[in-house]
Amino acid sequence: MRGFRNLIFPAAVCFIASIGAGQTVPADASSSAPATITLQDAIARAKANSPDVHAAMTDAGIAQQDKVQARATLLPSLNYNSQIVYTQPALDSLPRFIANNGVREYIAIGNAHQELNVADLALYRRSIALAELARAKAEIAQRGLIVTVVQNYYGFVVAQRKYSTSQMAAAEATRFFDISQKLERGGEVAHSDAIKAHLQLNDRERDLRESSLNLERARVALALLIFPDFNQNFSVVDDLRLPDGVPSYEEVEKLAKQNNPDLAVALSAVKAGNFEVQSAKAGYLPVLGFDYNYGIDAPNFATRTNGVRNLGYSAAATLNLPIWNWGATHSKVKQSILRRDQAKLELTFAQRKLLGQLKLLYQEAQTSSAELDLLRQSAQMATESLRLTTLRYQGGEATVLEVVDAQNTLAQARNAFDDGEVRYRTALAGLQTLTGSF
């Protein structure tokens, strides 16, 4: 592995170093040193700047406050009411309105209220399930963002590598063009060889320009994710040489059943549906209320008037029995049952979908991991093949087409190896959206 790295990627290392110095690759000029971003840095920055993740976290926060408000309906409430009522007096100095107790009536009462309602209890439990659902959706948004960051981060890394490969291919094509011209001047090869070498050089220079454009695209795509101000003055750490291993399928399946947010969303939706049905059915039940009042309800705003104590209390209990509401309660029950049944169906589908996705993504990770060795061997052999073919051409034993084919094969093998590493890392990230970290 060390020999392969020294053989194939020496220019890539120099190129990545030149990125950090602001050289070679077209980028926005800046006098300040570029920030070095790791994958974990990029993920943290993307989470802080992603509007989708922020929206999901906001929904989770709102759902949490809904739970607090639903719980408050189950607890006693305490209120204070202060009021003065003036009533037009009659001729005998009594209040004109019989509902009032005097011409002037002062009210300053504290009220403690408690209501026992089965529907409120069910709604509170439903709010708990909906809060869990919102948190699971926020987790889905974060894990999906991680996959996007991994794709764009390593897409930028590979774009750097491909630019370096294009540089080396262009340099090799230039060297081979010089060789063909010298051999032509010496009468050792035909002019057609020099023309073919020139065509190959033109193709490699065009590829170099395209890879430079693709590098800028990758830089912009990553910058949009991780910076709030569209900063392009940064470099990344190429850690594709240190891939994570894939655990056993049994371990992955166990983690997926425990930590899958899609499954958590479906389960929470079923819970919320069950409690919604309970709340709707509670419309058939009576509601019991208690009130305790303490304070002043007197013609003078004072605790005592003429030696009489104005402070006092009253208590009341109410029972509300639902009799008839034209089928509204029955309709609400039917609505809630329909929504609950739909949630149950979505749960069974989420369970099947999880098993299917888990199997496919695990096989994708295993396949891409196994193919890395083959791609690495191909890149090694293509490097050696080009070296030997060039020597054979100089010795008159190979044709120009063989050299051109060896050059193209090497560039394709290097790019395929880089793409294979990104594919493996992306497959791991996709698998972790189902399982969490492993």
Domain ranges of the chain: 2-73+118-284+327-435, 76-116+286-321
Joined tokens for residue 280: 């709707």
Side-chain half-sphere exposure of 363, counting CA atoms within 13 A: 6
**Between the CA of residue 426 and those of 153, 158, 160, 196, 432, what are the distances in Å?**
10, 13, 18, 39, 10
Range in 17-31, 74-88, 91-105 with the lowest mean pLDDT: 17-31
Q: How many residues does the chain have?
A: 438
Q: What is the pLDDT of residue 26?
A: 43
Above 70 in pLDDT, residue 299?
Answer: yes
Higher-confidence residue of 241 and 159: namely 159
The reported pLDDT for the residue numbered 244 is: 67
As a whole number, mean pLDDT of residues 248-257 equals: 89
Instruction: Give me the mean pLDDT over the 264-284 stretch.
Output: 95
Q: Average of pLDDT values for 427-433?
A: 91
Q: Say how far apart CA 314 and CA 68 lie, in whole Å.
A: 30
Q: Average pLDDT for residues 50-68, to the nearest whole number?
A: 95
* pLDDT beyond 80 at 24: no
Q: How confident is the model at residue 408 (pLDDT cuts 50, 70, 90)?
A: very high
**CATH of 76-116+286-321 given 2.60.120, 2.60.34, 2.20.200, 1.20.58:** 2.20.200
Question: How high is the pLDDT of residue 11?
Answer: 37
What per-residue confidence (pLDDT) applies to 93? 65
Rg (CA), the chain: 38
pLDDT bucket at 21, cuts 50 / 70 / 90: very low
> SS3 breakdown of the chain: % helix, strand, coil, rounded to 5?
65, 15, 20
Residue 9 has pLDDT above 50, yes or no: no
Least confident segment among 25-34, 147-156, 187-196: 25-34
Mean pLDDT for the stretch of residues 238-246: 76
Predicted pLDDT of residue 240? 82
The pLDDT value recorded for residue 94 is: 67
Report the pLDDT averaged over residues 355-380. 92
Residue 188 has pLDDT above 90, yes or no: no
The pLDDT value given to residue 74:
93
DSSP 377-401: HHHHHHHHHHHHHHHHHHTTSS-HH
Residue 166 has pLDDT above 60, yes or no: yes
Q: What is the mean pLDDT of residues 185-208?
A: 90
Percent of the chain with pLDDT over 70: 90
Mean confidence (pLDDT) of the chain: 87
* 96 confidence band (pLDDT: 50, 70, 90): low
Confidence category of residue 85, pLDDT binned at 50, 70, 90: confident
Token pair of 245 as six digits: 């291993």
Report the top-level CATH class of 2-73+118-284+327-435.
mainly alpha
Q: How far is CA 42 from CA 47, 112, 150, 152, 227, in A?
A: 9, 54, 9, 10, 9
Res. 377: pLDDT tops 50: yes
CA distance linking residue 215 with residue 222, whole number of Å: 11
292 contacts 310 by C-beta, under 8 angstroms: no
Average pLDDT over residues 120-148: 95
pLDDT over threshold 90, residue 242: no
Mean pLDDT of 92-111: 78
What would the mean pLDDT of 181-201 be, rounded to a whole number?
88
Q: What pLDDT sits at residue 306?
A: 85
* Per-residue pLDDT at 4: 33
Which residues does residue 311 pair with via DSSP β-bridges, in sequence order? 296
